[in-house]
Amino acid sequence: MLDPQTRLADLPIHYLDMVLDEIFNVPPPWLQPEAKRPETIADVAAMIGQDQGTVTAKFRSIIGMSVGIEIAPKNLQDLLAASASGDPTRPVLVDVRERWEYDICHLADSILLTEANYPALLPQLRLAKKVVTICHHGVRSLSAALFLRQQGVETATSLAGGVDLWAVEVDTAMARY
């Protein structure tokens, strides 16, 4: 049961600093090491000037959306192997890195998400059976998967460990950076 006195350390959120930064605009400790870190949901509410009930509800929603939000490289490899290109059950791979990163290495058939193609891509993603977001180490893609779930892409997941772990566990010939 979540309430304003729930300790952040007790929340089942893997990337808590990223969630605090991306969703609540609380900078991570490496950006502001001197800043006091919030310890409870009430502390977050006080820091951002929002009602404790609203912040508690937002954390509850984040936890709910986070269930099953990551997919291991080997599991993605199995899903891709089980479906041919063009198969509607095949996962849609959405790369959320910068163009230069994508140019170094990327998974076959992945789509580089840009500001220009996002509006046209979103309706397609909402209809997809499975969407997998991809980045370098799995942090940006986790944020993207959470964001996409908030936009109605209920099947959005993040490639755990990103292309770097993919290159280690699945495609050892893939370029790394």
Break the chain down into helix, strand, coil percent, rounded to 5.
Answer: 45, 10, 45
Active site residue 135: yes
* Whether the Cβ atoms of residue 107 and residue 95 lie closer than 8 Å to each other: yes
Q: Residue 37, exposed/middle/buried by CB under 10 A (0-12, 13-18, 19+)?
A: middle
How far is residue 175's CA from residue 171's CA, in Å, rounded to a whole number? 9
Contact 103, 176 (CB under 8 A): no
Active-site residue among 8, 20, 132, 135? 135
Q: How many Cβ atoms from other residues are within 10 Å of residue 55's Cβ?
A: 23
Sheet with strand 156-159: strands edge to edge: 70-71, 156-159, 131-134, 92-95, 111-112
Catalytic residue set: 135
